Amino acid sequence: MVVSQSAFALMVFTDRFFLSRIDALHIASALGGGVTFFVSVSLFIGIMSYATALVAQYYGSGQLEKCPRVLTQGAIMALACQPLLLVIAWGMGGLFSAMGHPPEQVVLERQYYFVMMSGAFFALLKACVAGYFCGIGKTRVVMITDVLGVLINIPLTWALIFGKLGFPELGIRGAALATVIATACSLLIYAAFYFNRIHRERFHVADSFRFDPGILRRYVRLGLPSGFETFVGAATFNFFLLLFQSYGIAEGAAMAIVFNWDMLNYVPLIGLNIAITSMIGRYVGARDMTRAGQLIAAGFTIALGFSVVLALFFVLFRYELMMVFATPGEDFSEIASLGARMMLGMATYVVADAVILVCSGVLRGAGDTRWLMNTSMSLHVLMLVAQYVMIKHLKVGPLVSWWGFVAMLLALAVVYLLRLRGSTWRKPSRLARVMAD
């Protein structure tokens, strides 16, 4: 899963790199449009992704025939929510100008956003299918599919942005369109694994294509809080990003580049988070909490070791890393100087990210999604209110706002760690309720 998520990070990284060959405005616009797209689908992605824990719980309890039924219910939900996504796209389209972005940036952000929203169904279904294979422990399938998807996406992005290999020159729209096409191709690769004979027979796939109200109710009951947690986290992050970009194009570009490097830490740890969710779900299904404790220790060892090394890398080479995205022929000094100072804050919070993702993976796999939702919503909304006051009313500088964001992540890590150390989430009576349809 780390390799799989790293492949996704590479895809986004190269998209931003290709756009940096145009100008800094395109980098900032792709970040604003891309994050707004994720906010628009994050509630649904969060629900779909809970397939990992749900499938793992059935797999751990030996109910293999119920695993593919989870995927069927997910596909039904993904199809049913498309009309709502059209309404969301219509409403969110005006957000960029409302946040005070320059008119030329708003045009590019809207182009990127609407193309991405046109492929929202593929993104939702892919999240569910990937969750299914993670739940049954076939993470190699996810890795192969994501790596092949990136191998499709990178040259296609290059061709569609710059008009190569006979394709039209679409600029920022080409970057978004290549992502949509690559996602659709990934679903075809998943289908080849899903419908192979050995898998079909072991999991009774032919009997799974039906509405199952019991599994659907459980999917919604446990997945909806997880979806709200994802949505609130993404929404507050997006509003913070858009507020920060109101400082100017240089500040927006600096943030985009810093977050691009942040993906080297965050996205691989998402892979670890998914693996932990799957394994904890399996141990919950098998009623084996001793193994769960061993898994938690292993998760922290891997996550903290990885993040500390990257934090040192970000500190030592912060200016050089910013200059990788320097636009040829333009003065990049202002962006590089601000971004290098922001990298110090990023090096601080990557360790907090490691703690948050290990803790949330354990709690989500154990079905403690309601607590995660309430806590995440409270702290993220508090952070957003604080950022709005600082940026719009107190008129603080960009670095003050940035360190406020860092402080919020550190506080979230402490709260999650305290919950994990407690005993509430692992009580046998509570885990029994989690497993009930």
Contact 35, 216 (CB under 8 A): no
Give the amino acid at 52: T
- Give the pLDDT confidence of 143-177 residue by residue, as tens digits: 899 889 989 989 998 999 899 988 888 888 998 89
Q: From CA 161, how far away is CA 22, in angstroms rounded? A: 10
Q: With CA atoms as reference, report the closest residue to 7 among 104, 167, 139, 109.
A: 139
3-state secondary structure of 427: coil
DSSP string, 281-347: HHHHHTT-HHHHHHHHHHHHHHHHHHHHHHHHHHHHTHHHHHHTTPPTTS--HHHHHHHHHHHHHHH
DSSP 399: H
Contact 96, 28 (CB under 8 A): no
DSSP 98: H
Percentage of the chain beyond pLDDT 90 is 29
Q: Which residues contact 273 (CB under 8 A, 6 or more apart)?
A: 357, 358, 360, 361
Q: From CA 433, how far away is CA 437, in angstroms rounded? A: 9
First and final C-alpha spacing in the chain: 28
Q: From CA 293, how far away is CA 252, in angstroms rounded? A: 42
Give the amino acid at 308: V
Contact 332, 390 (CB under 8 A): no
- Give the pLDDT confidence of 328-353 residue by residue, as tens digits: 777 788 888 888 999 999 999 899 99
pLDDT of residue 369: 80
The model carries a pTM of: 0.76
Contact 417, 359 (CB under 8 A): yes
Residues of the chain predicted below pLDDT 50? none
pLDDT of residue 434: 64
3-class secondary structure per residue, 271-285: HHHHHHHHHHHHHHH
Contact 133, 142 (CB under 8 A): yes
Burial class (CB in 10 A: 0-12, 13-18, 19+), 137: middle
pLDDT of residue 169: 87
DSSP string, 240-262: HHHHHHTT-HHHHHHHHHHHHHH
Contact 153, 11 (CB under 8 A): yes
| Ranges assigned E (strand) in 29-80 | none
Give the amino acid at 355: V
